[in-house]
Chain A
Amino acid sequence: DTEVTQTPKHLVMGMTNKKSLKCEQHMGHRAMYWYKQKAKKPPELMFVYSYEKLSINESVPSRFSPECPNSSLLNLHLHALQPEDSALYLCASSQDGGGGNEFADTQYFGPGTRLTVL
């Protein structure tokens, strides 16, 4: 089973709202990722958690706040977003975040959350 689940599927929020995106995997993977994808562009890495610790933050604005409560769950807390933050937000997981071989590096994506900021 290579399933990553994400909730909600769609989210519409105002610029003053606070909301959270959730991601879950039960593959025993120890690395989890948040990506942002705009239309007709490739996914853009935001954050990487490896063994429940934040290992990469790609200079993401502080209005995006990631959280990894345990090895199976990943949240993305949203606050005071801008309309330009509207995008598809993708979660992914891999066996290991340290690199080194095809098996450990393979990332599996969830279905995404389509976010619209009004």
Chain B
Amino acid sequence: QKEVEQNSGPLSVPEGAIASLNCTYSDRGSQSFFWYRQYSGKSPELIMSIYSNGDKEDGRFTAQLNKASQYVSLLIRDSQPSDSATYLCSHTGANSKLTFGKGITLSVRP
């Protein structure tokens, strides 16, 4: 079964710290990788997408992809209380079907 594993949470970090969210996947055919943020009671919001090995930065967010090791991570620098949410790791294969991890809840302490 093609699965996405996210490190167990919840994760709690102090305001201003770096939050590191990690994810591994089993499908070597996975092509595109996405991090979604979901606030309680709301729909998933795209935070980052990454397709190639290496790092991709957007503001305080950096996505890292290593296809050889089959992991993808999300770093949030200068974490803010507003970053407190559930983060969903996901990827697509050849048919664009999104496979989600279970999600990890991040709490940023003021």
Which residues does A use to contact B, with CB under 8 Å? 2, 31, 33, 41-43, 45, 48, 50, 55-56, 88, 90, 94, 96-102, 104-112
Q: Which of B33-69 contact A (CB under 8 A)?
A: 34, 36, 42-46, 49-51
Instruction: From known contacts A43-B44, A111-B43, infer whether A106 and B100 are also in contact, taking CB-CB under 8 Å.
Output: no
Chain A neighbourhood of B97, CB < 8 A:
45, 48, 56
Report B38 CB to chain A, min CB distance, Å. 9
Considering the complex, give the chain B residue whose CB is closest to the CB of A110. B43
Cα separation A99 to B93 with both chains bound (whole Å): 7
Q: Please, how many angstroms separate the alpha-carbon atoms of A80 and B49 in the complex? A: 38
Q: How many residues of B contact A (CB 8 A)?
A: 25
Measured CB to CB, the nearest residue on chain B to A98 is B96
Instruction: Check A108 against B31 for contact (C-beta < 8 Å).
Output: no
Question: Which one, A97, A99, A102, contacts B49 given CB within 8 A?
Answer: A102
Question: When the two chains form the complex, which single residue of B31, B98, B101, B103 contacts A45, counting CB atoms closer than 8 Å?
Answer: B98
Q: Using Cβ atoms and an 8 Å threshold, which residues of chain B touch A42?
A: 88, 90, 100-103
A29 to B95, CA, bound (A): 16
Tell me the complex Cα distance, A89–B46, Å.
Answer: 17
Kindly report which residue of chain A lies nearest to residue B6, judged by CB atoms: A42
Q: Which of B96, B100, B103 has the most CB of A within 10 A?
A: B96
